[in-house]
Amino acid sequence: MKNFSFRLPRFFQSAHLTIKSKLMIVLILLCTASILTLGIKSYLDFRNTITKRLLSKLTTNRNTKLNYIKFYFENIRKQVSVLSQDRAFVDAMRDFRSTFRDLNTAQNFASDSARVRAYYEKEFLPRIGGAETTKNFVVDAFMPQSLPGMYLQQHYIASNPNPVGQKLLLNDAGDSSAYTSVHAKYHPMFREFVEKFNYYDMFLIDAETSEVLYTVFKETDFTTNLRTGPNKSSSLAKLFANVSESKERGYVKIIDFLPYEPSYGAPAAFIGAPIFDEGKLIGVLAFQLSVDEITKITTSNKDWKGDGLGATGETYLVGADFTMRSQSRFLLEDAKNYVAALKETNLPSNTIEKIQKLNTSILLQEVRTEASIEAQAGKSDAKIIRDYRNIPVLSAFAPLQIPDLQWVLLSEMDVSEAFEPVYEYERSLLVWTAVSILVATLVALIVANTLTRPIADLTFNAQSISEGRMTGLRRVRSGDEFERLSTSFESMVQSLQAQRELVELKNKDFERLLYSVFPDPVARRLENNERYFIESATGVSIIVSEVMGFTKLMHTIGNEKSVEILNDMMIAFDEAAARHGIEKIKTIGDTYIAAAGLFNPQIDHAIHAVDFADDIRSIVQRIGAERGIAIDLSAGIHAGDVTTYLIGKRKFTFDIIGETFMIAKALSGAAAERRGTLVVSQSVFELTQGLYEFDTEPPLNYAGRMMLPVWSLKSSKLAIRE
């Protein structure tokens, strides 16, 4: 075998460096390379972890909002379909038709026309186009042309004593007409309905004449003809044309947002259905959707931080024309800075002026980004892109599959905010890298001195002897001495290592025991020497479950086998808790108590709780079927506020108290009486309504103080879930 040799770089050969200097340089280079390699890898791993976590969080937010938007539109579709067939709406349509046509004999057309013209010149046109509008438009083009239309606009709009935006407060115009009698009869009910269910306006349209016979809000579309009148090209006219051609009951059509002149040019979307009377189409029922209601869903009622979107995150809708269908967070929070940012983009100045004037980004803010383009193409993904402000953001996007609407939903957060932990870690890493290199340099100097000192001593002695100096020689460390020192050190290291391993083994046993007795967050606090606390938590779902038939089982097969079965079930319960993000509190015999959202807050804690309870019930039923024993599981679930505490000195007790726990316990008792049922309170029912099928149960007499509404889980199949 050839001898291995390493050729030093020319720098080491030509620089006349000492062995000490060469060794020190090599050690410094090796340490620096190792530190930089580990630092870069650590930074990249941390950045990737944060990115994945944030994109996952945004994806969850996106999916939640998708479900909410879908539920909203499915709900109003069903609502409009049912109302169009309701007897009250059919009667109202018939009454308004007959009384509206009777007004063709009304007098004082010239007087009515003058008052209506004055309203359009002084109130309506200046609002949609400024003070110069009346000079640029022919007023007659906006006014109703029919006698009844002019008469009713005069009484319910022009002469209405209420200001613009509050014209709907007038029930009776005081003109003693048959139409006013019908209006006074139905208007309070329709107005209450529109306000209660958050619509902007409601319309009754004559299918034969195309005239808008009635509206709640009393804007200038009231009494106009949708085929020949000023609004014949509007989105409401498109809705009417589509619905009036339908010959089937229950047909519902939605028209996407478009600028709507009667609402002073603001964006408006409509939904409508046909009204039949004894098989004959007599009219169309239409509603103008509320922009605020849709924005309330996408912004969680402006609670972006509560939605986990921080100071820069937002969720919004984009239409097929790549403009917004919900309000921008930045317009709602800080319109001044939002407009200033838009001026730095390619958005036309007249569009920015419209955004300022109408105070809306709907139909005006263009969102032609990588995310919106891919979502419109039917793709769902999460990645880093540049948003409509040309700012880097993390974006989770997906198409919103709603009939008649080609919308997509995007949930985004600025990279500058999302990566703040990364930037902080980067700064800290740079400091520690510099400190580590400095320390490595000092260590290299010490090591080089230590390793080269025997050589230096030998060199000194050799030089001294060559010069004839036989005294004052330095003591040279021989090989035997180094060997004995190394042996002693190794023995010491081995002894310490054995002791360390024994200590680590004991610590691991203690840690295992600690985490098996207490929930993980509590165990961690005990490890940190925190021996006492009492804390409150909000938004928590408590599950109290009991294995039914276990006591009887003990008498049947004996304690030993019964406990063996119970152990299998509790292990399976713990595994199910881990799968569903549930936190185990404690077990008492055959009772298993757990919580969702206690230590790790969850928006959908009630869903996790119901899924977990249903899962462990399936586990109990499976074990019973496999072993041929009659056991089942009952559970009670309640959501609310709880208090947790840890007390003790040498022996510690962790528990949960509060009204929420006591109600869950009472619900478990009620479930036990029904054997094998999952009973939930009203708070859980409301948080999961629409996601599961529930049966209404008799109210629960809680502690003799109140009657609690309760429901039992009928089916675990979700009614709405992607």
Express each pLDDT in 203-242 by its tens digit. Answer: 999 999 999 999 999 999 999 999 999 999 999 999 999 9
Domains 9-75+294-464 and 525-715 share a fold: no
pLDDT at 257 exceeding the cut of 70: yes
Render pLDDT for 309-337 as a digit per residue (tens, 0 to 9): 889 999 999 999 999 999 999 999 999 99
Mean pLDDT of 95-112: 79
The span from the CA of 615 to the CA of 416, in Å, is: 41
Q: Residue 563 and residue 551: Cα distance in Å, rounded?
A: 11
Is pLDDT at 619 greater than 90 in this prediction?
A: yes
* Residue 133: per-residue pLDDT: 44
| Helix, strand, coil fractions of the chain, as percent rounded to 5 | 50, 20, 25
Write out pLDDT tens, residues 446-487. Answer: 877 776 666 666 676 667 667 766 566 666 554 544 445 344
436 vs 198 pLDDT, higher one:
198
Supply the pLDDT for residue 481: 47
Categorize the per-residue pLDDT at 47 as very low, low, confident or very high, splitting at 50, 70 and 90: confident
**Which helix (H) or strand (E) covers residue 576, if one does?**
helix 559-580
Give CA–CA dist 157/569, Å, rounded.
71
Residue 430, pLDDT above cutoff 80: yes
Quick check: 539 pLDDT over 80? yes
Q: Report the candidate in 646, 658, 652, 538 with the shortest Cα–Cα distance to residue 598.
A: 538
Q: What is the mean pLDDT of residues 649-678?
A: 85
Average pLDDT over residues 244-270: 91
**With 90 as the cut, is the pLDDT of residue 129 above it?**
no
CB atoms within 10 A of CB 103: 19
Query: Could you tell me which residue, 58 or 482, shows the higher pLDDT?
Result: 58
Amino acid at residue number 575:
E
User: Across the chain, what does the average pLDDT equal?
Assistant: 85
Q: d(Cα 273, Cα 277) in Å, to the nearest integer?
A: 13
Q: Which residues contact 118 (CB under 8 A, 6 or more apart)?
A: 158
pLDDT of 134 reads 44
Residue 11: predicted pLDDT: 56
Kindly report the CATH class assigned to 85-289. Answer: alpha beta
Q: How high is the pLDDT of residue 135?
A: 45
| Statement: residue 2 has pLDDT above 70 | no
pLDDT, position 194: 95
- The pLDDT of residue 132: 46
By the 10 Å C-beta count (0-12 exposed, 13-18 middle, 19+ buried), 10 is classed as exposed
Q: For residue 483, what pLDDT is reported?
A: 44
Burial of 402 (0-12, 13-18, 19+ CB in 10 A): middle
Residue that has been written with the tokens 């110069």 in this structure:
132
Long-range pairs for 73-78: beta carbons < 8 A, 24 or more residues apart: 73/254, 73/402, 73/405, 74/720, 76/271, 76/287, 76/289, 77/252, 77/254, 77/271, 77/403
Identify the weakest region by mean pLDDT among 14-18, 351-355, 493-497, 525-529.
Answer: 493-497
pLDDT tier for residue 246 given thresholds of 50, 70 and 90: confident
Average pLDDT rounded to a whole number, residues 187-193: 96
- Residues 196/202/207/212 CA torsion (nearest 10 deg): 150
The whole-number pLDDT of residue 265 equals 84
pLDDT in tens, 547-572: 988 888 888 888 888 888 889 989 99
In the chain, the amino acid numbered 492 is M
**SS3 (DSSP) at 680:** strand
- Percent of the chain residues past pLDDT 90, beyond the cut: 44
What local confidence, expressed as pLDDT, does residue 489 receive? 36
CATH code reported for the domain at 525-715 = 3.30.70.1230
Percentage of the chain exceeding pLDDT 70: 85
Provide the b/e sequence for 431-467 (b: ≥16 CB within 10 Å): eebeebeeebeeebeeebeeebebeeeeeebeeeeee
pLDDT digits (tens, 9 = 90+) for 620-658: 999 989 988 888 899 999 999 999 888 877 777 888 888
pLDDT tens digit string along 387-415? 998 899 999 999 998 999 999 999 999 99
Residue 107 pLDDT exceeds 50: yes
Provide the residue ranges of all domains of the chain, joining segments of one domain with +: 9-75+294-464, 85-289, 478-517, 525-715
Rounded Cα–Cα distance for residues 9 and 27 (Å)? 15
Residue 474, amino acid: R
Instruction: Tell me if residue 408 falls in helix, strand or coil.
Output: strand
Which helix (DSSP H) or strand (DSSP E) does residue 68 occupy? helix 19-84
Which amino acid would we find at residue 67? N
- State mean pLDDT over 16-42: 77
Tell me which residue of 182, 223, 175 sits closest to 203, measured CA to CA: 223
Nearest to 708 by CA among 672, 677, 664, 674: 664
pLDDT at 13 > cutoff 60: no
Contacts of 108 (CB under 8 A, 6+ apart): none
- β pairing state of 405-414 and 392-402: antiparallel
- In terms of phi and psi (left: phi > 0; alpha: psi -120 to 50; beta: otherwise), the region of 675 is left
Q: Could you say which of 3.40.1000.10, 3.40.50.300, 3.40.640.10, 3.30.450.20 is the CATH number of the domain covering 9-75+294-464?
A: 3.30.450.20
The answer to whether the CB of 664 falls within 8 A of the CB of 680 is no
Distance in angstroms (rounded) separating the CA atoms of residues 104 and 146: 8
Residues 443/14, Cβ–Cβ less than 8 Å? no
> pLDDT for 264-291, tens place per residue?
888 999 999 999 999 899 999 999 999 8
pLDDT grade, residue 722 (50/70/90)?
A: very low
